[in-house]
Amino acid sequence: MDGHRTHWKTPQTALAALCLLCAAAPGGDTPPPMTAGNRILAAHRGVVTETIPENSLASLEETIRRGYTHIEVDLRCTRDGRAVCLHDDRLRRAAGSPRAAGELTLDELRALAPVEKVPDFETFCARSAGRIALMPDIKECPEGLEAAFAADIERCLAAHGLLDTALFIGRGAVPERFKKAGGSLRAVSPEAAAGTPPAGRFVFGHAKDFDGPSVRAFQALGLKVVVSINTFHYLGAGDWRGAGGADVKRMLECGVDGLQIDSVYEPAFREHAGGAAGTM
């Protein structure tokens, strides 16, 4: 699917982006819940602050409290085919260990990282059920475990009534397995969207990929448009907060169906979400 997924070029760019991500809000800030209206509003890796780690159970709870419709959660596969909520392939940031999730069974991973910080997907779905929809970002999988990984993801979602509302993103063979999964939707890049049947799909890309006419053209094809506005898109901008906030405003004015944002861009959404849509 997504031809625009960003990969870290150097450890320095990764560190810079993570610092921006954690700059979303001081740990003590408790902004009121937002109103998304009829839009999709997904929190990228959940709400992340100085005291709330990405993809954690605390992040899930804060994302729900703030009124997001969806939480984007990164999924990786353990050696025994279990899905866990983890962005990086290795546990250095999450648990101070150089081990990779794919080298460990779930029990071995649990000995290194508590469930609160690196939840298994079953626990994450159980906490989400009836409270928020999910945007699973399915990461690379150890060779030979694709079927088990996909089966565990589907089992967890279906068991908690989350499969039909899921928005799948990610690369490789595993996300492809979900193209006929209930009423859920899989992402397609803007470049591929014109030749893609709309059933079970939505267009997903960066703000730079869209303007008002292109958004309306995709929607005329029956495709929802969801735009990713994350801090790492603006690493080269002097005012990364202002640049991303301006894109939030512009995309809302273009009438997009949804946004996936880092919580640092919540103020821009709160300011502009009540305005007229589809005016550009």
CA distance 210 to 225: 9
Angle between helices 121-128 and 57-65 (to 10 degrees): 20
Q: Which CATH architecture has domain 42-178?
A: Alpha-Beta Barrel (3.20)
pTM for this model (two decimals): 0.87
One DSSP character per residue, 125-167 reads HHHHTTT-EEEEEE----TT-HHHHHHHHHHHHHHTT-STT-E
Q: What is the pLDDT of residue 183?
A: 56
Q: What is the pLDDT of residue 146?
A: 96
Please measure the distance between the N-terminal and C-terminal CA atoms of the chain and give it in whole angstroms.
27
Rg, C-alpha atoms of the chain: 18
Four-CA torsion 199, 86, 27, 124, nearest 10 degrees: 60
Q: CB–CB of 111/78 below 8 Å?
A: no
Exposure letters 7-21 (e unless 16+ CB within 10 A, then b): eeeeeeeeebbbebb
Could you tell me the residue ranges of all domains in the chain? 42-178, 189-275
Q: What is the pLDDT along the chain (280 residues), one digit of tens a residue?
A: 333 333 333 444 444 455 555 554 444 568 899 989 999 999 999 999 999 999 999 999 999 999 999 999 999 999 999 999 999 999 999 999 999 999 999 999 999 999 999 999 999 999 999 999 999 999 999 999 999 999 999 999 999 999 999 999 998 889 878 865 545 677 778 877 777 777 778 999 999 999 999 999 999 988 899 999 999 999 888 899 999 999 999 999 999 999 999 999 999 999 999 854 455 5
Q: What is the pLDDT of residue 10?
A: 41
Q: What is the pLDDT of residue 14?
A: 45
Handedness of CA 56, 176, 195, 224 (dihedral sign): negative
Q: What is the pLDDT of residue 280?
A: 57
Q: CB–CB of 264/46 below 8 Å?
A: no
Q: What is the pLDDT of residue 63?
A: 98
